[in-house]
A and B are shown apart, each in its own frame.
Chain A
Amino acid sequence: MIPITSTVRIRDGRHQFWIPLFLVWLLLLPVAILLLPLFFIACLIVRVNPFRAISVLWEILTALKGTDVAVDDGHCSVLVRFP
């Protein structure tokens, strides 16, 4: 299952965004479908199996769950979390 939510927190919790990724996926779906023929052509040009490429990209998306990135330099802190 691909992550359907993510948390982005910027500047010591003063600004916190909750990004509903499922809406992002829904918005990207028509774009992805439109770009699919180009993607297939590009894969054929570079001699890569397009189905394998899609499979690996999907695996990466599903594996994003559990990823946490937190950076704090004293002035600004950023947290990105895929629960």
Chain B
Amino acid sequence: MNENRRKILEMLSAGQISADEAERLIAALGNEPASSGASGAGAPSKPKYIRVLVEDNGSGNSARVNIRVPMQLLRSGVKLTGLIPDHARTQVNQALRERGIPFDLNQIKPENLEELVDQLADLTVDVDDRNAKVRVFCE
């Protein structure tokens, strides 16, 4: 484990990988025992964070952004929809439909919430623009 960490740090100091990549690799090393641990059933561990990375593609026109949001914050945030008054919820649903998003806020219920957040584990979005590279993933 220490050897792997040393290699990652050497690659970072040699400029072969970026600081973000080094962080991800080290985090992956930290997860190794948990994922190959006692259960052995091959069940993927639940992601704890959702990450949004924006990196400049060398154009200098884009800001570098590195955001890490705990999944728990996402869960709590989704629960806020339960506080939206009924009439406001109807208006939101209607506005979403008008913009071509057939989404019903009434469907977000506690029993569906966990499933919704769990499905995010497989979420990976990669956008490679000429100005910036955007990555959204869970870890």
Point out the residue from A62, A66, A69, A70 that lies within 8 Å of B49, measured CB to CB. Answer: A66
Point out the residue from A53, A63, A64 that lies within 8 Å of B75, measured CB to CB. Answer: A63
Contacting pair A71 B64 (CB below 8 A): yes
Contacting pair A47 B86 (CB below 8 A): yes
Contacting pair A70 B70 (CB below 8 A): no
Chain A residue numbers with a CB within 8 Å of B73 are 60, 63-64, 67
Chain B residue numbers with a CB within 8 Å of A71 are 63-66
Closest CB-CB distance, A27 to chain B, in whole Å?
Answer: 23
Q: Taking the complex as formed, is B4 at the interface, i.e. its CB lies under 8 A from any CB of chain A?
A: no
Q: Taking the complex as formed, is B1 at the interface, i.e. its CB lies under 8 A from any CB of chain A?
A: no
Closest CB-CB distance, B137 to chain A, in whole Å?
Answer: 15
Interface magnitude class on chain A = 20 to 34
Q: 3 closest A-B pairs (Cβ-Cβ)?
A: A73-B63, A63-B73, A63-B72
B31-58 CB contacts (< 8 Å) to partner A: 48-49
With contacts A47-B85, A48-B85 taken as known, whether A56 is within 8 angstroms of B80 at the C-beta atoms is yes
* Residues of chain A at the chain B interface (Cβ within 8 Å): 46-48, 52-53, 56, 59-60, 62-74
**Interface of chain A, helix or strand or loop or mixed?**
mixed
Closest CB-CB distance, A56 to chain B, in whole Å?
Answer: 5
Cα-based distance from A48 to B88 in the complex (angstroms): 12
Chain B residue numbers with a CB within 8 Å of A70 are 64-67
Contacting pair A48 B83 (CB below 8 A): yes
B72 (CB) vs chain A CBs: closest residue: A63
Contacting pair A67 B70 (CB below 8 A): yes
Cα-based distance from A70 to B86 in the complex (angstroms): 36
Cα-based distance from A59 to B88 in the complex (angstroms): 23
Contacting pair B76 A63 (CB below 8 A): yes
A-B contact pairs, 22 of them (CB 8 A): A46-B85, A47-B85, A52-B83, A56-B76, A56-B79, A59-B76, A60-B76, A60-B77, A62-B72, A63-B73, A63-B75, A64-B73, A66-B68, A67-B68, A67-B69, A68-B68, A69-B66, A70-B64, A71-B64, A72-B64, A72-B65, A73-B63
Contacting pair B66 A68 (CB below 8 A): yes
A48 (CB) vs chain B CBs: closest residue: B83
